[in-house]
Amino acid sequence: MMRLVARLPFLFIAGRLYGPDTLGTFARAVLFVEVAALLATFGLKRGLAQAIAEADERPHVQIVWDCLVVAAIASGLASAALMLVPELMYHGSSPTLLERLLPCIIVASAWSDIMLAALAYRRDVQATVTARAVIEPWTISIAAGVLYPIARHDGLVIAYMLSMIAALVASLVPFVRSYGRPHGWRLHPARTIALIRRNAPLAGADALEWGTRNVDRSILFLMFEPRIVGIYWMAQQVASIPGKLKTSFDPILGPVITSSLARGDTAGVASQVRQVGFWILAAQTGLALMGSIPGEAVMGTVGPQFVAGTAALAFLLMAEAAASTGAVCESALVYIARLQNMAISIGMLLFQVGLSFALIFGMQALGWPLAYQAAGPAVALFLSVSLTSIIKSNYLARLLRARVAGWRWPMAWAVAAAGLVGAAFTSLPHRFEWAELLIGEPAIAGVYIFVLYRWAFGPEDRALFRRMPGGEAVVG
């Protein structure tokens, strides 16, 4: 919820002040920085927990510093490549000096991720909340607004760099407090190479998951002008807010799964995946309903020119909900079936790319408007992640010999009830569009939560919302 609240000001400022053309150029540059930062972590966001859990007598802080060195080397190589060939990030435009320096921020993002993963191993999730849900989004929001009058062209780039630096500092301080300094640590090339080799499948899984969520943006860069890309990027940012729910569970879910696997408790792993999968699926479905039913009003809030992205927003929100089961199952598959998980992801990514181009070319041949054509990759994403969730959940269930899917049939009743309420508000005359957001959104959420809590929640779910005698929370 903190991420949701903190992200909205930036979307409003970016949409209202900078406009879709500037956003399109910014989105392309950030795309390359994000994938470089992800690859620079080399799967260590998830692999770190396993590396520490299997360590013998070696201090944990030394293992973390091995990972930081790997990330620093990879970040340096990626930064150098992007700075030497800035045309990759700014195709068709002349980047300024500050825009050319954007890749220098890659190491800050990679180091922050690894430090937060190390803190999560010690069950310190508060550091992740502070860095990712408070410091980072509020820094970019405030900086984007302040910089607009004085650096209109570079404002978004500078704000992004400042937010990454602020998140690094917010990660470094609690990391040093928890782990201390790496006394006696020395760089060991052979050990570093072994670490890279062992985490290669995890790095591949991370890259494929990221590619699944961002290949649509890459395709748009090739097929459409920056304005269309900017509108789609805004829809993607709004839709990605529910996706933060999954990443919010990552810091604690990984260590819990690795601990259960170390004990050989496969039934416990299945239970954890099934329970967390239900929570995430239920929450993301509710947010998808709230964002897609009054979609025009939602997109119009960040600027009237973004209403054209309503169709894309609806499919992107549905894709976030559909992907949740597969994403949670992958949290276990990356530890027990890494190569098979990667093979599934590669196959579905290729399917998504092929379907995206097929939909775009098909709509172009039929003469459909650009807004519909640009929504083609979102439709392909929805179908691809839906199939991926089905495949991965069934495969993991077979490996664990237990059900892992979080779907519960009463959720369909909650969706139907909320849909009817939302349809009633969207049918109001245009002059009452404000009611869709101010009254309709709470009404949709209220009906959905009521039905869900009444018929879909079990005792272990309700335990999260009450405290037992003695003041100890029950967590199921």
106: confidence class by pLDDT, cuts 50, 70, 90: very high
Q: How far apart are CA 257 and CA 371, in angstroms?
A: 42
pTM for the model: 0.78
In order, the DSSP letters of 352-415 are HHHHHHHHHHHHHHHT--HHHHHTHHHHHHHHHHHHHHHHHHHHHHHHHTS------THHHHHH
* pLDDT digit string, tens, across residues 423-450: 999 888 877 777 888 899 999 999 999 9
Residue 396 pLDDT exceeds 90: yes
Residue 475 pLDDT exceeds 60: no
Nearest-CA neighbor of 224 among 309, 301, 298? 309
Question: Mapping DSSP to helix (H, G, I), strand (E, B) and coil, where does residue 183 land?
Answer: coil
Q: Which residue has the higher pLDDT, 341 or 395?
A: 395
The 8-class DSSP code of residue 103 comes to: G
Q: Which residue has the higher pLDDT, 196 or 174?
A: 174
Residue 461, class by beta-carbon neighbours within 10 Å (0-12 exposed, 13-18 middle, 19+ buried)?
middle
What is the pLDDT at residue 469?
42
- Structural contact between residues 44 and 69, judged by C-beta atoms closer than 8 angstroms: no
Residue 260 pLDDT exceeds 80: yes
Residue 152 pLDDT exceeds 60: yes
User: 211-223: string of b/e by CB count within 10 Å (b at 16+)?
Assistant: bbbbbbbbbbbeb
Q: How far apart are CA 293 and CA 239, in angstroms?
A: 13
Residue 126, class by beta-carbon neighbours within 10 Å (0-12 exposed, 13-18 middle, 19+ buried)?
exposed
Q: How far apart are CA 374 and CA 362, in angstroms?
A: 12
